[in-house]
A = this chain, B = another copy of it.
């Protein structure tokens, strides 16, 4: 069902929905036949919710496809991730509260180290401090390029955002980051004739940056990736009449929420603080997206025990969330990040939906194996929000 048809079924309801995303939740055993991190974790609250609610397994994009964080989240938010594709530069810009217009080109950047021959020796410039990054970004922000405005903003450590603003710019551009050591930064190239002018302007900016940074070793150059325009996504307000809020610590996830019309709330970094933020803002919104990053970080580090610990910490804090009595609580991930693989993977993600109107199923615990017995079966990420809206009584029937 397309979003326009779905929108035609939406009604107001005095209900609240919480979408709790444990980033990279799905896992694999580290030894044959062993438990996954979710299965190894002691999660009495999540298990109890699974026993009362319904569970299933989610393919965020499609079976066999490993989702990036952008597509993984957009699908959880109810959008077709194959239809709505978002550049990384846009996500980074939104995440630092930079107000992008729909004609801006945003790039994700790194400060990096070049040797005397101009070859990259460190793609992260020795992970300079955020303070140095801020100072150098300020320096680059002074660059003036004829005919456009350029904005450079620090993100964290070696990471920056560059935004190019002006009429007629195109994001049909290659990247300057070769993503390999020992090579020189690449010239940005136009993928279409319309993008030739933009490529020239971006390259002019990069050369000015090279001049300004030449004595700033180890941060003596920048690399740009993910040059992209801000896509037009219909918002939660437009589609569902929902006042939606995002509670997330990392910029990109705040940016993803803002992209669909959520307000990004200020929060402390721990799960406890995120749930406290939920408490503070509970009356003001109908829909809350809460993002927990630690599961993914542990998975990417190959640290099975750490992933178990993050899941157990979420479970320990869960009563704070449950005390608010959300009408619908969805717990899932934006993709799997098995510690055994140290990276995102294509494996389907455990899903738990708790609401009064759930039909009993065979699941007794929240785990990959348990979800195989779940009443939701196997579904696509983009279908989850529709189910949440249904259980929250936000949808009238389709057709007479």
Interface residues of A (CB under 8 A from B): 1-2, 5, 9, 28-29, 32-33, 36, 52, 57, 61-72, 81-82, 85-88, 91, 226, 340-341, 343-347, 357, 359-362, 368-369, 372-373, 375-379, 383, 386-390, 395-400
Q: How far is the CA of A369 from the CA of B358 in the complex (A)?
A: 13
Shortest CB-to-CB span from A17 to chain B, Å, is 12
Copies in the complex: 2
Known: A66-B390, A67-B398. 6 other contacts (CB 8 A): A64-B389, A67-B399, A70-B399, A87-B400, A361-B369, A377-B378
B66/A396 in contact, CB under 8 A: yes
A398/B68 in contact, CB under 8 A: yes
B82/A5 in contact, CB under 8 A: yes
B375/A373 in contact, CB under 8 A: no
- Measured between beta carbons, the chain B residues less than 8 angstroms from A390 are 64-66, 345-346
Question: Given the known A-B contacts A399-B71, A400-B70, are A359 and B386 also in contact in the complex, defined by CB atoms under 8 Å?
Answer: no
Q: How far is the CA of A340 from the CA of B359 in the complex (A)?
A: 11
Q: Which residue of B lies closest to A226 (CB)?
A: B400
Most B Cβ at <10 Å: residue of A33, A346, A369? A346
Shortest CB-to-CB span from A95 to chain B, Å, is 12
Shortest CB-to-CB span from A398 to chain B, Å, is 5
Q: Which of B2, B82, B345, B398 contacts A357 (CB 8 A)?
A: B345
Q: How far is the CA of A91 from the CA of B400 in the complex (A)?
A: 9
- Measured between beta carbons, the chain B residues less than 8 angstroms from A88 are 400
A359/B398 in contact, CB under 8 A: no
- Measured between beta carbons, the chain B residues less than 8 angstroms from A85 are 399
Shortest CB-to-CB span from A176 to chain B, Å, is 16
- Measured between beta carbons, the chain B residues less than 8 angstroms from A67 are 397-399
A379/B65 in contact, CB under 8 A: no
B362/A372 in contact, CB under 8 A: yes
B346/A81 in contact, CB under 8 A: no
B68/A386 in contact, CB under 8 A: no
- Measured between beta carbons, the chain B residues less than 8 angstroms from A395 are 64-66, 346
